[in-house]
Amino acid sequence: DTGVSQDPRHKITKRGQNVTFRCDPISEHNRLYWYRQTLGQGPEFLTYFQNEAQLEKSRLLSDRFSAERPKGSFSTLEIQRTEQGDSAMYLCATGHYEQYFGPGTRLTVT
């Protein structure tokens, strides 16, 4: 257990629906990252927060994706109008050089 928790662990949704995931980081870590992992690939960077400020977004993060980290604590990742291509494991990590990952949220879009 890394101390990073994610909720839910699994989510099945129909195409076109909105979904939201939550990440609770290790409390003393200012930096929080979101990654996405698909089958046969390594995790791919989506976005990054330093405290409550979202400082970087990958080109993978389309306009349907939005992330927040109010008060620099937990973070949420929302996907609007889900598509089948959004099916993946969504991972949250905290730390700096050495990043500690949560267990991930497995999203399946049917």
Among 11, 19, 21, 33, binds other proteins (CB under 8 A): 33
Residue 36's SS3 state is strand
Which of 56/68 has CB closer to other proteins?
56
**56 binding other proteins? (CB under 8 A):** yes
Q: What is the Cα–Cα distance from 103 to 72, expressed in whole angstroms?
A: 20
Tokens for 47? 């976005």
- Distance, CA of 87 to chain centre: 13
Is residue 108 involved in binding other proteins (CB under 8 A)? no
Shortest Cβ 13–other proteins spacing (Å): 19
**53 binding other proteins? (CB under 8 A):** no
Minimum Å distance from CB 39 to other proteins?
11
Which of residues 26, 29, 30, 44 is near other proteins by CB under 8 A?
A: 44
- Contact residue for other proteins among 43, 68, 107, 110 (CB under 8 A): 43
CA distance 25 to 93: 7
Sequence-distant (≥ 6) Cβ neighbours of residue 79 within 8 angstroms: 18, 19, 20, 64, 65, 86, 107
Q: Which of 29, 45, 76, 87 binds other proteins (CB under 8 A)?
A: 45
